[in-house]
Amino acid sequence: MAEISHHQRLETCLSGNETDRPPVSLWRHFPVDDQTPEGLAAAVVNFQKQYDFDFIKVTPASSFCIKDWGATDRWTGNFEGTRDYQQPVILHPEDWVKLPLLDPNMGHLGRQLTALRYLKNEFGNSVPILQTIFSPLAQAKNLVGKDNLILHIRQYPEALRSGLEIITESTIRFIDEAMKIGIDGVFFAIQHAQYSLLSQDEFLTFEKPYDIKVLETTKSLWLNMIHLHGEHVMFDLVADLPVQIINWHDRHTQPSLKEALDRFPGVVCGGLKRWETMVLGSPEDVLREAKDAIQQTSGRRFILGTGCVLPIITPHGNILAARRSIEI
């Protein structure tokens, strides 16, 4: 089969037809570099040019969407490249209703739009670009602190719902502006679809309705992906959300890639363990795991990737092995 473009390969994958090879993409944080639009864009450009993935998943610090509400964080050396939050913004239940609607063209949201413009100018339509969007409840967690979120869900539900409405509307406004720049999709990060964190009723009350509102905004985009973070995930409760791709920690939690293809009509993304294989394994381990993932899916409706962000200490040789594995 003749070589085809990244766009064509992904479109064929989404259709369920056979491609010249399975698509592949890995993504990572860029600590320190991610504190300016120019730095983040330059780091993403360098990473993409080095490995030529089939799509670019833009990974800013998670604080990009809440800094304009007063959130503060700092880089302390986490191997995943994430930053640590400082003093919570929400100290009392009544603080939720005080959150203003954010102007996406100002402040840190505006800076992220600038980074997207740099990337679009660099790649044009040659490589699809996905902007990371954190679910409203994930943003709420970072505003109130992860130890306090469950408390607010169970003791101050009305106040929290008011805050989630404001967060949702601000997120939709940002996506609208990002779509004008020409992104191909969003990488929608859901962190609380875990039975170990929320009950099913809590998920259906505080997570899913707001996710639906946000994702309805992205329906005109052709390459939207959900990321289910963590273990014991509520896969079947998100499988009907309007996206083309689901990514989760498939090597550590059910369902397997093979099982998921029967439970979700779109494309599954995963197959590689981040730490055991990509960081601590050898190129041979990477090739072996990638081959197993391709066998599970018969190479259809499948994108090779990791279950979450690639640790920043991942050896170059293992990343290269993942990139080359789908061509063998």
| Domain positions in the chain | 6-325
Q: Where are the alpha helices (DSSP H) in the chain?
A: 6-15, 37-51, 107-123, 136-144, 146-155, 157-181, 200-206, 208-217, 235-238, 257-261, 283-297, 316-325
What is the pTM (predicted TM-score) of this model? Answer: 0.98
d(CA 320, CA 315): 9
Contact 239, 163 (CB under 8 A): no
- The pLDDT tens digits for 273-326 are 999 999 999 999 999 999 999 999 999 999 999 999 999 999 999 999 999 999
State the average pLDDT over residues 14-20.
Answer: 96
Is 80 exceeded by the pLDDT of residue 328?
A: no
The residue written with tokens 């590689």 in the block is 272
What H or E segment, with its residue span, contains residue 59? none
CATH of the domain spanning 6-325: 3.20.20.210
Q: Give the 3-state secondary structure of residue 193.
A: coil
d(CA 195, CA 314): 30
DSSP letter string, 74-94: E----TT---EE-S-S--SGG
Give percent of the chain above pLDDT 70: 99
Task: State the pLDDT at residue 2.
Answer: 57
Is 80 exceeded by the pLDDT of residue 120?
A: yes
**Residue 160, φ and ψ in degrees, nearest 5:** -65, -40
Contact 32, 75 (CB under 8 A): yes
Cis bond upstream, residue 242 (ω within 30) = no
Average pLDDT, rounded, for the chain: 97
- Range with the poorest average pLDDT among 1-10, 250-259, 306-315: 1-10
